[in-house]
Amino acid sequence: MKKILWIGLIGGFLIVLGLYGYDRIFASVIGKEHTIERDNAKALHVDLDFGAGELLVSGGSDEWMNGKFLHNSSKHAPQISYKEKRGTGFLDIKQRSRVTFGFTKRKFENDWNIQLTDKIPLDLDIDMGVSDTTLDLKGLQLNKLTIDSGVSDSTIDLSGDWKESFPANIDIGVGDSTLLLPKQTGVRLSISRGIANVDLKDFISKGNGIYVNEAFDKADVIIDITMNIGIGDVEVKLVD
């Protein structure tokens, strides 16, 4: 009788574990590193499509890209493709599926840590969904920057010593953002906002949503930024 009872208890435990426990006990964070090696490309076009989680992008890679991707669901693993065509490398990193929020037994985890090269010029296009994002872009050779932030808290660091001018288009949907810009480089901001609060105390207003820093009038290198801001608090700071 006791043996039957123990068998029943163990069987019941295994059923409960199978229904509820796998996600909580055995489902671990999967980690994968991925490298795009240098080839004969003279410029890069990088397209990052990030659905949800934590995103860190920085420079300093000895290759075209080094990335570490952590997630606890294979359906959110990134799809990574690269091809070189007529001297330009095209790198696409896309989250395999968008996240749907609702009842789930599993705590969602999805972290991307991406290092890009600073050896050649690049166009960088970043699309974020629901995320905590740090874009440490100083030191990169940017030709063009496009950022589309859905519902995100973000820090975008464009400080540092820039050798060439470039345009940037930054769309912020909902969230709190900090934009760091170089004090000694010319900066022009064209801002359209919804009900956002934007801190621009270091800038000079030229009217019609146009703001510049003190270095702008005499600068040979200019970062020309168009910002569309929906809801949230945005702080724009000049740093040395």
Predicted confidence (pLDDT) per residue in 44-79, tens digit: 999 999 989 999 999 999 999 999 999 887 777 899
Q: Is the pLDDT of residue 22 over 60?
A: no
17 pLDDT band, cuts 50/70/90, is: very low
**For the whole model, what pTM was predicted?**
0.84
CA distance 200 to 237: 7
Residue 159 clears pLDDT 60, i.e. is over it: yes
Q: What is the mean pLDDT of residues 189-199?
A: 92
What pLDDT, on the 0 to 100 scale, is given for residue 109?
Answer: 85
Report the alpha-carbon distance of residue 74 to residue 71 in Å, rounded.
7
Note whether 54 and 25 are within 8 A (CB): no
Name the percent of the chain lying above pLDDT 70: 83
Tell me the pLDDT band of 97, cut-offs 50, 70 and 90: low
DSSP structure class, residue 43: E
Q: Answer whether residue 160 shows pLDDT above 60.
A: yes
Q: What percent of the chain has pLDDT over 90?
A: 73
Q: Which residues in 126-149 are b (16+ Cβ under 10 Å) and which e? A: bbbbbbbbbbbbbbbbbbebbbbb
